[in-house]
Amino acid sequence: MRHLRAIVAIGDRGTLSAAAQDVAPSQPALTQGLSKLERMAGTALFERQPEGMTPTAAGLIIARRVQAAMTMLADASDAARPRSGGRGFHRADILLTMGAHSELIEPLRDGELDFLVGALRNPPPGPDVVQEALLVDEVAIVARREHPLFCNGKRPDLAALIGCSWLAPPSGTPLRRLWERLCAEAELPLPDIWMECARSR
């Protein structure tokens, strides 16, 4: 178990010496344990480079599985711990992590996050992730009341809006793809993107 934890530590810290500080054994013992795991796996788990160690594809897969197993063991240990006060609700620690979907999907796969709330992805992230709709969101275009497009009291059409500078969600996000599809269906060019905002999706 200690050597398996070492794989996660090496991936996080980037060097054997730094990983040894996290998992307790000496650096030679850690090197020996890593060599044993690589023999068992039949492939290299890390690429040795002058600036540190980088996980190989196999190393990444094993590190994620080990991290997920460690998280489940910690959860099981906590659930099995006797609770004071007899019956009633268990204490729950809630950690809210904000970030882009691309930043959170791998921690979700690794078991560091329990679930992710965000826009559904199409195509889905993969067979190891289950998506379920919680609500249907409405998309709105927001502008200041004094904007020239609203001075005549009429609602501007998409063609008029395209002529403005936009604050838009990042490329590749579901909202951005929806917006680009609306322009394509109307045979209109994409407007000038003045700024991309990661929190607008």
Set out the domains of the chain in order of their start, with CATH numbers.
2-78 (1.10.10.10), 148-200 (no CATH)
Give the tens place of pLDDT for each residue, 112-169: 888 888 888 888 888 888 999 888 878 788 888 888 887 777 788 888 888 888 888 8
Q: What is the dihedral of CA 111, 115, 120, 125, to 10 degrees?
A: 10
Residue labelled with tokens 């006797």: 82
Task: Supply the pLDDT for residue 86.
Answer: 52
The H or E element containing residue 8 is helix 2-13
- Return d(Cα 39, Cα 194) in angstroms, integer: 53
CA 17, chain centre distance (Å)? 28
Q: Are 71 and 111 in contact, with CB atoms under 8 Å apart?
A: yes
Q: Are 71 and 113 in contact, with CB atoms under 8 Å apart?
A: no
Q: Which amino acid is residue 106, in one-letter code? A: E
Task: Supply the pLDDT for residue 177.
Answer: 86
Task: Supply the pLDDT for residue 66.
Answer: 79
Task: Supply the pLDDT for residue 89.
Answer: 54
Other Cβ atoms less than 10 A from the Cβ of 105: the count is 18
Task: Supply the pLDDT for residue 201.
Answer: 38
Task: Supply the pLDDT for residue 185.
Answer: 92
| pLDDT, averaged in runs of 10, over the chain (201 residues) | 70 68 67 80 82 80 78 70 57 74 84 85 88 84 82 82 85 85 90 74 38
